[in-house]
Amino acid sequence: MNQSALYVVSTPVASTSLQSDLGRALERDQFELHYQPLYRVDQGRPYIAGVEALLRWRSAGQLVPPLAFIPTLEATGQIVPVGEWVLQRACRQVRDWQLAGQGQLHCSVNVSSLQLEQVGFAASVRRVLQACGLPSASLILEITESQWVSDSAQVKACLDELVSMGVRLALDDFGTGYSALSCLLRFPLSILKVDRSFVSGQPQSGKLHAICRAIIGLGCELGFEVVAEGVEEAVHLDFIVGQGCHYAQGYLLSRPLPPTELQRLFN
């Protein structure tokens, strides 16, 4: 079934009723995670190396996509408990898949800058990993470039603590925010995700190709692993592979899927 058909058309306007419905969504167990595979593409035949957990809200029988409600969760601070739920659920799911035979599978989880600013965030990640038995090296935390504003000593210490535990950090949507290249040096990143606007934009656009090529080259030169997001067509895949990109994610390979559907791709 095409999951995207279930989505409601919605705006990010935070009406009072949206806020109050969202406020109860966690206790009502209305959140669910879909998973989109990340394929390793630089070692011959592409294979699933990891999955990214993507949050959905089931409201009045319909599946609401994250961009319609995450800004409200951010504005109300609820992204902190919801983000903790996402982390727990995703780590447990990936650990189950590892034990079922996908031993090397990585788990990517999006985190809000608000979560990183919470005192004790790194300790809470450690607790989640211990509770579900997921090796820290299996966890990748994705931080969206456009959100990355805080340069405080506390956030820096939190990121350093996560990395010392063995967790890896990815800079998501690279190229859409401030593109502050100093971020690439200042923070202990190991993965760069090229925003899909540069990957699946107009295929004939020489300028987009140039930017995509430059970002992949920059990431590789800096020793990062590079992921191309938004790989929708075979030409996109050919292009990024030709540039030395390590991983690909996108509708060509798979849309985000509920766990039962995703696991069929393992075999």
Residues interacting with ligand C2E, by CB under 6 A?
36, 54-55, 65-67, 70, 79, 83, 86, 110-112, 142, 144, 172-173, 196, 200, 229-232, 249-251, 256
Residue 17, C-beta contacts closer than 8 angstroms, at least 6 positions apart = none
Smallest separation, CB 238 to ligand C2E (Å): 15
Binding mask 172-191 for Mg ion (x = CB under 5 A): xx------------------
Residue 133, C-beta contacts closer than 8 angstroms, at least 6 positions apart = 95
The residue number with the shortest CB distance to Mg ion is: 142
Residues 115 and 188: their CA atoms lie apart, in Å, by 17
Smallest separation, CB 20 to Mg ion (Å): 28
H or E element: which one contains 58? strand 47-59
Judged by CB under 5 A, the stretch of 83-91, 96-104, 136-144, 211-219 that binds Mg ion is: 136-144
Residues 61 and 191: their CA atoms lie apart, in Å, by 36
Which residue in the set 110, 112, 243, 249 belongs to the binding site for Mg ion (CB under 5 A)? Answer: 110
Q: Which residue has the tokens 């599978």?
A: 105
How would you classify the pairing of strands 31-40 and 47-59? antiparallel
Taking the least distance from each CB to Mg ion, the nearer of 21 and 229 is 229
Residues 55 and 67: their CA atoms lie apart, in Å, by 10
Q: Which residue has the tokens 């990936």?
A: 94
Smallest separation, CB 213 to ligand C2E (Å): 19
The verdict on 142 binding Mg ion (CB under 5 A) reads yes
37 binds, among Mg ion, ligand C2E, none (CB under 5 to 8 A by kind): none
DSSP 208-263: HHHHHHHHHHHHHHTT-EEEE----SHHHHHHHHHTT--EE-STTT---B-HHHHG
Taking the least distance from each CB to ligand C2E, the nearer of 103 and 238 is 238
Smallest separation, CB 239 to ligand C2E (Å): 14
55 binds, among Mg ion, ligand C2E, none (CB under 5 to 8 A by kind): ligand C2E
Binding residues with Mg ion: total (CB under 5 A):
5
Which residues on adjacent β-strands are paired with residue 228? 194, 248
Smallest separation, CB 193 to ligand C2E (Å): 7
Smallest separation, CB 75 to Mg ion (Å): 20
